[in-house]
Structure 1
Amino acid sequence: MSNQHKPLFWRDDRLPHVELRQVGDGRQVCYAPHSHTQWSIGAITSGESTFQYRHAHYRVRAGDLVLINPEWVHTCNPVSNQPWAYLMLYVDTAWLTDLRYGAGLLPEPRWQDIATATLSAPLWYRRYCRMANCLLSSHRDLLEKQTEVVEFLSDLMHELAGQPWVQQPNVPPALEALASYLDEHAAEDLSLDTLCEISGYSAGHLIRAFRQYFGLTPHAYLVNRRVQLGRRELANGTPIADAALNAGFADQPHFQRTFKRLMAATPKQYRCISPNNEIQATDSQ
């Protein structure tokens, strides 16, 4: 993969609640179904792609935005190997919850999923790219970057506030408790027998019921959690081999294969912070 086609990541310790990803050739990245602990919003900057979001399927193209709730299983992949490019902003869920609550958009300081999955609006696309340009630029100071992020997300949250709330699934308490257990013990070697004992479900029933409510089998959920743990370790500067072990992977090669399958980037690419590279918004509507 040439340098210009490698996924690039932007992070800044002074803005720990946001992270930006840029992909110049989406044909080079394919995702397995996965989820993130963050809320995320992406902009298709050229071409088009498929967007599978839980049980819904969308075709998105240049100028469109996609909005992804935390923990919602999704994939974005090329259409018939056609070129496409995108930006993706990952936003810390707790930080965004506080922003929405402080603006009077939530009745309590607790995350509420957003119903909107895609936006085809030139104004919001241009504003998104302007924010991305600001974050990536070495000529913008910290206060300006913070202002761009807060203004964009605050205004967007107000824009979306009129949409109906997503009805939260009534997850059985036993499965909620099991998901919490998997979150807390993701780096450990767990057995299906242990999960059945904790939940009180038989093996077959557990796998079917868990996938119904969480979109992934318990094993896939655990692997996804391990990748997110590894991602956090890498962002904190942990060496790849140590990040692999800390996240519960048997060895570095297994971590690298799994990380690339779910993140469409290698651990080394993720650790490498993008040089400043401004992105020009194009109005494709």
Structure 2
Amino acid sequence: MGTTPTAPEGLRPAPGQHITAWRPQVEGVVEVFHARFTEHAYPMHVHDAWALLIVDEGAVRYDLDRHEHGIPSDTVSLLPPHVPHNGSAATPGGFRKRVLYFDESLLDRSLIGAAVDSPDLRDPVLRHRIGQLHTALASPGDTLEAASRLALIGERLRGHLSPRLLTAARPTDRTLAHRLRELLDARQVEGIALEEAARLLGAHPTHLIRAFSAAFGIAPHQYLMSRRIDHARRLLLSGHAPGETAVTAGFYDQPHLTRHFKRVVGTTPGRYARSRA
């Protein structure tokens, strides 16, 4: 996940405020920024990256291109690069927000004008996916899941900004899905980036995800994690320690193994190992 920077004395958030920022190892993502502000107000400023913002508590008001906007908790806001904007709390208790900054590999600069015209999107599916992406980005071993969720979010954003870019769904490509499954099996331990898989198989990342999910009823990252969990179970039953198992089965570290193992198997790796007859 990277190291969260510590602000020097005098620059730390005021009491009641909290900031966490990091740059994950996911192609296209410049920064992830989580903050809780009670009094801070942003002056007019610009970013060199797209900013995708959701508010979890309270509400935010801001000016973009001389027009006032508001971000309640059910709204997604997409702020384009190089366009001045500010921001402040619209509720007495302040606000808590999560922001994803990404480069033009996800959204082309030709869409900046459309984003200026309609920066606030009321799309429950999009907002839910953004929340899932933030969860994945907070886990250093879940880069394939994060890249997959980011690709689908980019597709949905492009649909909002330029509906003509949406095309009819193509038929399920079972051959493509099987080739991706073979690739995931071959790279089970070391893993593979979504962009690399797309290049090797000659397919767009979102089409690759949809073809695999339609063919097998499971997303590529879920399939890979399931294979790693099965591998870990065999290792644990053979007497390997959880820490050793995590590395051997392809997990980032033991906490990464424990989190996914408990979610799938219903118990921790240590308890599972001790339960063997």
Larger RCO, structures 1/2 (Cα 8 Å, 6+ apart): 1
- Largest Rg, 1 or 2: 2
TM-score (norm 2): 0.49
TM-score (norm 1): 0.47
